[in-house]
Amino acid sequence: MHTIRRDLLKTLSFATLHFGVAFTVAYALTGSVAIATGIGLIEPVANTVAFYFHERAWRRVERSPAGPGDHVGSCCAPLRAG
């Protein structure tokens, strides 16, 4: 099920988990339900959007003809003394 539907379902699952974590941490730090709710909603929304595009980018890397391993580190390989 490597489709946009799968990515969206995975993204929604991640968003739900992320909201719970963000709310819990914010509440533990502030003791305020209102502040925790605000942080719990804003921060995961931004991360969820980023996560969706992160998944789509990795899908492109996985499909590329060179293969996923050929791209990793190619820009940052150490220079060799010649």
Higher pLDDT, 75 or 6: 6
Q: In the chain, what are the domain boundaries?
A: 4-64
Q: Do 43 and 17 meet the contact criterion of CB atoms below 8 Å apart?
A: no
Note the pLDDT of residue 22: 92
d(C-alpha 78, C-alpha 8), whole Å: 38
User: What is the pTM (predicted TM-score) of this model?
Assistant: 0.53
Cα dihedral: 36, 41, 43, 46 (round 10) = 180
Q: Do 53 and 23 meet the contact criterion of CB atoms below 8 Å apart?
A: no
pLDDT tens-digit readout, 8-46: 898 889 888 989 999 999 999 999 999 999 999 998 888
